[in-house]
Structure 1
Amino acid sequence: MSNRRRVATDRAELARLTEDNRALRERSEAAHATAELRARMVAHVSHELRTPMQAIMSLLALLDDHGLPTEQRRQHLSTLRGSSEDLLLLIDGLVDTAQIEGKRPSLRTDDFSPRATLEQLVDLLGPSAHKRGLELRSALAPDLPARLRGDRLRLRQIVINLIGNSIKFTRQGHVELRASARVEHDVARLQVEVSDTGVGIGPEAMSRLFRDFSRVGDLSVEGTGLGLSISKQLVDALGGRLDVDSDPGVGTTFRFEVTMPLLVAPAAEPTAEADTRPRVLVADDDGAGRELLVTALRRSGYAVDGVADGAAAVASALARPYVAVILDVQLPELDGPGAARQIRDVRGDVALIALTGHTEIDVLGRCKDAGIDAILIKPVKLETLRATIARVAAERMQPVELAVIRGYVTADDPAFVPGLIDVYLREAEGDLEALQEAAARREIARVAQLAHRLKGSSAGFGARLLAERCQSLYAAARAEQPASDELAAVAREFARVKAALSVERTRLISS
């Protein structure tokens, strides 16, 4: 080979090696940046896991003290259960993230109203937009299907991520949610768009928009950039496609379409799993008396189960989500107070009601010591029993479903939910004050309007009982009936919701 050809070959080889080294360096730098972000996330997750684990270990040590009073032991068990639930939620979240990264997100099937689902999200996220001086609009087609069958929670997660992203990168103007559907035979193609008047996305940023840990726009905005990536993978898992159009400085539109079965009519016989009625357990060894109570309560709108002894009552109460358990004091196998004690040690959220023919002080005292909420002396009128169930179940019901709130938490924006809580509480307190003023001035239409608005925002936070109280107030106002009792009930329940949300906000910030 001539020297000239050898030199040319060497130069080509040198150029190839130089290019390979450059590409290798770029991949190494990208891998290092991703690893650094993942390390920060792992450190955060480690802290999240250690916090409830530390609480569990400390509480177990305290419970080892056999001299603890019963009430204090019960409080520790309740706290221990809460910490265990926190830990389980974190583990579920980690599994979910791993499944999504492996492009295998878990899906569930629900029957749901697309309109109600999307309207609820507008009510939920509207205050967050208003806090930034933005308007959150919605334009839902009037012919949206009444019911669809699909993964409602994943749909919510996608839309929350898209709206949250638009709010984050929009300094002025508005964010708009639009939805329509094309019905074809027994399926509906649900089309959802989220548009904004934000900073927009340039061509270079567009090419890496849906990658993990990618961010665009103002780098001073906090977040790891997982929201859009997760949304895309969830849309893919639902069999759809997520697209984006954007003009830098003008705004961005995200759109996706998913196909879901059309639910034309409800099933003729609702299954136990689909039954949304409050569920009550009746434990009585008198077969005739038990069946009488079961039938009467079913006619009153409850889903009711019956058992004949205390051991069966404990097993059932720990296996199903009852709002109330009615226990005859003199049950075989395990008497009423004994069964109540075992149930209460595990479940602090269920109402326990004792039925007894005895009025002796020691019997009543045993019931109270076992954690029973109400004691009714036989014979009991059905109206009294219904009122007692409603009252005690409301007192025992958690003011806020924390799983709903924690479902909005993402690593992409850890400050989002605490800020959302602040905005909700401020707006709700304003609505409640305005409600009281409107009621004092007998402005019935204004009372109905405010009650309806507070109902929507509260339902979005998982405050089911507060939403129900607002609905009762709204119905009374629409019927032009006196509503002082309903308004007082709204105020009382809001106080409970505020306390629960304040605790959850502190937990989220400290973690």
Structure 2
Amino acid sequence: MRSFADFSNNYLTQPDLVFFNRILQFQNAYYSNGQKERVLEQLLHELCELTQSDSAGLINNKNRLKDVFVNNGQVGLVHATFKNTGTGTGNYQIKKIGEQSMLICSIKDAEGIVGLIYLIRSNQPFTVENYAMIKPAIPILNGMLAYMNLYGKSVPELDIQLKKTASLQLLIESLDDIILELDENTVIKKVWVKDKSKLFMPPELFIGKTLTEVMGGFAYVFMECIHELLITGERQECVYPDFDVNKDFWYSAKFQKIDGENDADAVRVICVIEDITAKKLMSDQLQQSTTELKRINNLLDIGLDISKMGGWEYQLQNRELFVTKQINDIKDLDHQVVLDYKTILDYFDHDNKIILLNTLNEAFKGFQPFDIELELTSATYQKKWVRIAGVPVSENGYVQSFRGILKDITHNKKNQEELIAAKNLAEQIARKRTEILSIMSHEIRTPLNGIIGICNLLNQNDFPDPQIREYLDHLSFSSNHLLSLVNDILDLEKIENKKMELNETEGDLVGLVGNIIKQFQSLAEVKGLELKFYADHGIPSSVIFDELRLGRILNNLIGNAIKFTEKGEVRISLKAVRQEGRMIRVLFKIEDTGIGIPEHLHNLVFDKFHQVQQASHRQQQGTGLGLSITKGLVSLFKSEIFLRSRVNEGTTFEFEIEFEVVKGPDLRRVIKGERRIKDILPGLRLLVVDDNPVNLLVAKRQLWNFGIDAEQADNGYTALAMLKAEEFDIILIDLHMPGMDGYQLARQVQVDYPETKVIIFTADILEEVRMRLAEMGITYVLSKPFNPDEMHELLLEVINNTG
């Protein structure tokens, strides 16, 4: 017994399918064409071509006048008589006649052999495979011979039967379904199909076989339905996929029992097989869409519950309001409570109700969506904030309804209020911090101004006693070191709060670095170090940069290099790495032969208050802020600092900065250079206002060295009295004074004495102070402690702008 797989392997190869289609075409042509012998001849030609035969013949045992021969098929067979000849019990024979080989196949029906088909060829003997090739055509030839023997007989009953059969055939062929007639033992008796390509083998091969023989293991799909049909007599149906797993088709098989007219007649089962692939696909898509929609609705419902948000729709014509259950939850109501357009307004107080109604009215008139926040009182008397948003829905140019959401934002409101409170607190703390830093800066720098100022005055004198000079040097170093610490703390605060900005001016880059190195020359000589400086000749003499911030970077790096180097050298180099148009990029490199830094600490050295300490160098002191500030200052120049170092092999810091090149001579620096030759500024009327007597003394004595006999006042009121009595070219004002502070005095001078130039003389160097002064129109600021050269340059600048 053959399984479905056997038929698939034996009948469904591509060449077989082509041959089957050809046989079916001949079958259709035979029954629909009047030239039936011509069709048989063409069929024999097809078999000759398929088997590479020279000639062929079809013998009709019941009517030898209907024999058909092609390609001189009788040659070599004159001695053979085929009338009523059989081929034995087998279905085929292979004979050798002279140089020719003959394949003879029997055509049988229930009564025996009704005909023969033979093929002749002389090139090579026939084989079993040749018989297998033409075997599918034998059942069709059987039907053709039977029809041929009946054709032309004038039997009325036969004509009627043929007409009925033809009508039934036309009816069946008009259907797209496959129809099988089976007996109660599931043996296939008849097959009707419009499109024979729907079958995996020709319909004739189904006849006389059971479902199991045809379908193999897949027959159980039908057998269960037939078994149930024969027991109950009720119509059965099953849905199954295509037997070929590579095909994505689905079918529906319907089974109907047909009883015979007499009890002796056999029971028949009609099976109608319908291709429902499209219906199944549509059903699956519908089911998938239904499942997805259900999932989306569930997720939406969960999302609305989590977000405490509900949906609503209000119909304007019938005033019908629909709300989701989440709105009942927001109002602390049971889900069974039905809200309408009147009751929902009762949860708002008068003011919020008016706002809501006015908003709806404006949205209706302007065809505009709305989004507002209101406060309501729930059913349990809880105060809640809600967000109500909606959009108008229009039809035929008229607004028919509103749809929107209502969301509980009470928690967001509380968070917002807490955030505002936290922001106000942070701003208050920031202001307090600024005030504390300002006071600290003023209180520390004010006495430092006196110490450093007196040191500067003493340094302008010659002392014959070397011990006095030594004391003076130590005093200057200690006071400047303390000033450096204060500046570090203030600069760190500016960097962390992103309040520091570059103040770029035209300057000599190489000259700046050279002057900084000169300041460290004596310190390097004391330690026995060689201080080397190299500048690339390609660096222009004048570029735009922030001298103060770049100077701080180099001071920190060079100072650290000398500090942590006991022998050897410190090298500072500037190299032009790229120049495009008016921009030049310079590489700064500071190298030493000092103690070095372990690799695992390279990132830590840039942290605040962190110093790399080694057992042999614990005598080195500092705040640990220098490199942290340096890194922040380098980032202001849109650059990054890199470190290379190994223990006892020295350290290298390097970074690159891009500068804008200034074309032409630096006139401002030439003028300043010329004016530095003259230290004396005679004829300048100047008033110094400061409540600290030491600062007044230092300023007056330093101005005296510039040839200026300055007047002084210890408060704002005295200064205004002196301004009223006498004209002054410049007034130096301290900011922090009792009574009338420096801001008030400066404003009064600007209003009442506009010809007098104001210079703010303050120990408060915070950025907020400079911004406030800039808003007042004051640009001249001299920081305490002051450098005599800085005071001199500032006075020259004021005089120059005045003139």
Q: Which has the larger radius of gyration?
A: 2
TM-score w.r.t. the length of structure 2 is: 0.26
Larger RCO: 1 or 2 (CA < 8 Å, sep 6+): 1
